[in-house]
Amino acid sequence: MPNLISRAAAYAAVAHGKIDQRRKYTNEPYITHPFHVAELVASTGARPEVIAAAWLHDVVEDTPVTIQDIKVEFGNDVADLVAMVTDVSTQEDGNRAVRKEKDRQHLANASAEGQTIKLADLIHNTSTITLFDPKFAEVYLREKAELLDVLRKGDEGLMQIARRQLLGDSEDLSYQ
């Protein structure tokens, strides 16, 4: 039987693949993003459940998969981690600023492991947004700075990378 991480990677690939989800700027298959997020999380020495959740971190937001589906397939621990990093705001909540504040407050309550997944997500997204969309990057980097204020429990090494990206360190901006 495949291990938890391999199963999560395959599950995420199928979920994102079924809707032919692509990366916005590169048109690559979307699964390249969870791959990089999981790789960053694994680099912290995280438990297999956390790495599995990193693979799955966007499936609930972006595909028909639900938290309950994750719970059935991977257990409560992985499902709880995915829920911690899944946006809770909806369009009905208001404008972008209001929605981002709601999601930021949700992430403030996430565990250290959940916040580590979110830091890895931010690092990889920053690398593509700053490279391909400098105008939106101005907005995104402001939002990221506010988010970093609440992700204090996350992995310190990833936090340092994320902070350096805000300062424009080209070595960290090129992570892909």
Summarize pLDDT for 31-47 with one digit per residue, the tens. 999 999 999 999 999 99
Helices 32-42, 4-18: inter-axial angle, 10-degree rounding:
160
CB 34 within 8 A of CB 12: yes
Of 61, 75, 175, 48, the closest CA to residue 120 belongs to 175
- Residue 2, pLDDT > 80, answer no
Question: Using 50, 70 and 90 to split pLDDT, how confident is the model at 136?
Answer: very high
Q: What is the DSSP letter of 92?
A: G
Catalytic residues: 61-62
Distance from chain centroid for Cα 143: 14
The pLDDT of residue 22 is above 80: yes
* Containing structural domain, residue 149: 4-173
Q: What CATH code is carried by the domain that includes residue 73? A: 1.10.3210.10
Residue with tokens 């992430």: 107
Q: How many domains does the chain have?
A: 1
The model's pTM is 0.93
